[in-house]
A and B are shown apart, each in its own frame.
Chain A
Amino acid sequence: TQLLEQSPQFLSIQEGENLTVYCNSSSVFSSLQWYRQEPGEGPVLLVTVVTGGEVKKLKRLTFQFGDARKDSSLHITAAQPGDTGLYLCASMTTDSWGKFQFGAGTQVVVTP
Chain B
Amino acid sequence: KAGVTQTPRYLIKTRGQQVTLSCSPISGHRSVSWYQQTPGQGLQFLFEYFSETQRNKGNFPGRFSGRQFSNSRSEMNVSTLELGDSALYLCASKSTASSYEQYFGPGTRLTVT
Contact = CB atoms under 8 A, between A and B. Distances in A.
Question: A and B: partners?
Answer: yes
A94 to B, nearest CB: 13
B75 to A, nearest CB: 17
A50 B100 contact: yes
Interface of A: 31, 33, 35, 40-45, 48, 50, 88, 90, 92, 96-105
Nearest to B55: A98
Contact of B48 (A33, A98, A102): A98
A50 to B, nearest CB: 7
Task: Label chain B's interface by main secondary structure.
Answer: strand
Contacts of B103: 45
Interface stretch (B13-21, B65-73, B104-112): B104-112
B56 A96 contact: yes
8 contacts: A45-B104, A92-B100, A96-B56, A98-B48, A99-B45, A99-B56, A100-B45, A102-B43
A33 B101 contact: yes
A100 B42 contact: no
Task: Label chain A's interface by main secondary structure.
Answer: loop
Interface residues on B, range: 20 to 34
Given A42-B105, A45-B102, A98 B42 contact: no
B33 interface: yes
B87 interface: no
A42 B90 contact: yes
B97 interface: yes
B31 interface: yes
Contacts of B58: 99
Contact of B42 (A40, A96, A104): A104
A63 to B, nearest CB: 14
Interface in B60-109: 88, 90, 92, 94, 97-98, 100-107, 109
